[in-house]
Amino acid sequence: MPLESVDEMMRRADRSGYAIGYFESWNIESLQGVIDAAEETRSPIIIGFNGRFLTQSGRRAAERVSWYGALGRAAAQTASVPCGLIFNECADDDSIRLAITSGFNLVMPDDPSAGYDDFVARVAGLARYAHERGAAVEAEVGELPCGASGKIEGDGDLTDAEAAARFVEATGIDILSVSIGNIHIMVKGERELDLAQLAKIRECVSIPLGLHGGTGIPADSLREAISMGVTKVAYGTYLKQRYLAALRAALKSDEVNPHNLLGYGGPEDVMVTGRLAVRDAVLERIELLGCCGRA
């Protein structure tokens, strides 16, 4: 089916009290696995790729954003459930504009190094550019701590409700991502959300709210946040953990025919192994969002 309006997806989720999952992909197998799970559960879904990863200067080989946009649109158009397509968390405005013209219908500017006034002006400009082309914009107020080392590094910066309201008004964004105890790249463990802070934000902000760092949010805390108005939850870390574990196990095979290991589609094919690992990982979490059967 055609790519689904993210604004409309968020409105339906808000009216019915569920959240849409963004399960991040990084190649065609992971994208297939995400959509397999969404179709199996009849769930609307946001698919997409990490803009910061794709555009960072340290990459050994440059990526082509337009290819990822074309892949995502083709996946959405052939899926049997509604799909939005996000270019997630990117600090480079030119790459964000390219993503929009390449077919992404949700983008997320994210530049922790920018000064506040500069960032507001940039996000407002990107929002105008996106809206003129039928795309939506997500941005974050506050800062999430990072758990990539296995320990929570820093305290982060909780989203201030009144500051968030001013930011939304000044920029015209469509989705506000919040920092309420959620952790980026939580490789182990969980941490409860600050639901009291979420309540304060909800009183001041009327647009849809999103949570990044879904991997480390306990189920009960997440369900409560959704009941309070969170309509988008992002997952990435645990998908890659499951994918890598499955591939490492599969590559212990003694199979010498490279075609059986890559592309043939049989039991030894590591590409299929990765796809199924992502599918199963999505299936573990998607029911928590309340979106199953809503497609």
Q: What is the CATH number of the domain that holds 149?
A: 3.20.20.70
CA 180 to chain centre: 17
Contacts of 282 by beta carbon, 8 Å cutoff, 6+ apart: 21, 23, 33, 34, 36, 37, 38, 235, 239
- Contact at 8 Å (CB) between 225 and 198? yes
Residue 244 lies inside a defined structural domain of this protein: yes
Q: Count how many Cα atoms sit within 13 Å of the Cα of residue 85 in the half-sphere of its side chain.
A: 28
pLDDT at 218: 97
Mean pLDDT of 36-59: 97
Residue 225 lies inside a defined structural domain of this protein: yes
- In this prediction, residue 1 has a pLDDT band, given cuts at 50, 70 and 90, of confident
Q: How many residues are listed for the chain in this entry?
A: 295
What is the tens place of the pLDDT at every residue in 13-40? 999 999 999 999 999 999 999 999 999 9
pTM of the model: 0.97
Residue 294 lies inside a defined structural domain of this protein: no
pLDDT at 2: 87
Mean pLDDT of 49-73: 97
Residue 1 lies inside a defined structural domain of this protein: no
Res. 204: pLDDT tops 80: yes
The structural domain count of the chain equals: 1
Residue 192 lies inside a defined structural domain of this protein: yes
Q: Count how many Cα atoms sit within 13 Å of the Cα of residue 107 in the half-sphere of its side chain.
A: 32
Contacts of 25 by beta carbon, 8 Å cutoff, 6+ apart: 31, 34, 47, 48, 49, 278
Residue 295 lies inside a defined structural domain of this protein: no
Structural domain boundaries, residue 222 = 6-289
pLDDT at 174: 98
What is the tens place of the pLDDT at every residue in 263-288? 999 999 999 999 999 999 999 999 99
Mean pLDDT of the chain: 97
pLDDT at 153: 83
- In this prediction, residue 62 has a pLDDT band, given cuts at 50, 70 and 90, of very high
- In this prediction, residue 98 has a pLDDT band, given cuts at 50, 70 and 90, of very high
What is the tens place of the pLDDT at every residue in 116-158? 999 999 999 999 999 999 999 999 999 999 999 998 887 789 9
Residue 95 lies inside a defined structural domain of this protein: yes
Q: For a pLDDT cut of 90, what percent of the chain falls above it?
A: 97
Residue 107 lies inside a defined structural domain of this protein: yes
